[in-house]
Amino acid sequence: MASSNDNNNDVETDFFPYYRLYKDGQVERFYELGGVHQVPPSLEDPETGVSSKDVSISAHVSARLYLPKNTAPDQKLPVLVYYHGGGFVIGSAFFKTEHCYLNHLVSESNCIAISVDYRLAPEHDIHTIYQDCWDAIQWVASHFVSDTINKDPWIENHSNFNRLFVGGDSAGGNIVYNMIMRAGREKLIGDVKILGAILGFPCLMIPSIENYDKGMAYKLWNMICPLSERGNDSPMVNPVSKKCPSLSKLGCSRLFVCTGEKDELVPGEVAIKFAEAVKKSGWEGEIESILVEGEVHAFQCENPQAPNSKYLIKRIASFIQRK
């Protein structure tokens, strides 16, 4: 629980089980599931051997960096910029669930990862969140040029900038979508290119899907986005909106889209239809799309050692490692 206020008459917005906003500006967040407390980074994770540390990207954005076990001093690795889920209103790169998941994903993928801790709604609007996440990619890309001041040695020494990936789950999947849309029209520092994007259980909304407008994700989006972006027609959340720029301009060469058959927040059909829309747009990249039978929303983050989680992590790792 981030903050509290005992006077319920001062409540402005109550969106249980995510958050409660008070009229004085305080926000109370509800963390009822296990593993949602912050944990420190580790020099060597006991299960995976992955090392991690925390860094500041800017005054408002920080991140947790991950480096695989037995990385040689001059070894170059694929780079993954990762965005956590939580409906844009909860979650952190420093929570136990994210930390444990990234340890396993980095170990299996043999990549260096930057897990971004962006600002949250409702204190900050959705455009601020997207800008934080774009700033994080730009900071990573800045290591490619010689005159950058705020460099991290792990990224500088071990990053193969020809193999830059962005990935995220749930709200993080939505962020990835918006990042590659922006990368299609704006250059990264050093003209670094995003090779691949991983959209896990992405919070996207496609009106043709039955009951899409009755789910928690739809209601939450309409609580936190600007009035002008509410409903089902915002290009930030609806990739088939008439207002949306052509998907043929996506700023990456590969897409990996995954979802769960029993996803209770975002119907699995959303991810499938997104992949279909990208194919129809004329985008010339490669698309890999999978639906994991019997699984719920972002299941691999909650328990990365479960059989289906291991399967999905291996599929993601293969996507990252493929030449």
Percent of the chain with pLDDT over 90: 75
Backbone angles phi, psi at 161, to 5 degrees: -75, 0
- Does position 2 have pLDDT exceeding 50, yes or no? no
- The pLDDT-based confidence of 33 (bands split at 50, 70, 90) is very low
- Does position 4 have pLDDT exceeding 50, yes or no? no
Neighbour count for residue 119 (Cβ, 10 Å): 15
Looking at residue 305, its amino acid is Q
The reported pLDDT for the residue numbered 1 is 42
Give the rounded distance of the alpha carbon of 56 from its chain centre: 18
What is the rounded CA–CA span in Å between residue 301 and residue 297? 9
The reported pLDDT for the residue numbered 164 is 98
Taking only the tens place, the pLDDT of each residue in 272-286 is 899 999 999 999 999
What is the rounded CA–CA span in Å between residue 101 and residue 300? 7
Nearest in space to 253 (alpha carbons), one of 145, 158, 138, 163: 163
What is the rounded CA–CA span in Å between residue 150 and residue 29? 33
> What pTM was estimated for this model as a whole?
0.94
Taking only the tens place, the pLDDT of each residue in 108-132 is 999 999 999 999 999 999 999 999 9
Among the listed ranges 26-30, 86-90, 183-187, 313-317, which one has the minimum average pLDDT value? 26-30
Neighbour count for residue 127 (Cβ, 10 Å): 12
The reported pLDDT for the residue numbered 229 is 75
Nearest in space to 170 (alpha carbons), one of 215, 112, 211: 215
Structural domains in the chain, sorted by start: 7-36 (no CATH), 38-321 (3.40.50.1820)
What is the rounded CA–CA span in Å between residue 66 and residue 94? 12
Taking only the tens place, the pLDDT of each residue in 75-113 is 999 999 999 999 999 999 999 999 999 999 999 999 999
CB 133 within 8 A of CB 83: yes
Taking only the tens place, the pLDDT of each residue in 180-234 is 999 999 999 999 999 999 999 999 988 766 556 667 788 888 888 877 677 678 8
What is the rounded CA–CA span in Å between residue 194 and residue 167? 11
Which tokens in the block code for residue 81?
């910029």
The reported pLDDT for the residue numbered 209 is 66
- Does position 173 have pLDDT exceeding 90, yes or no? yes
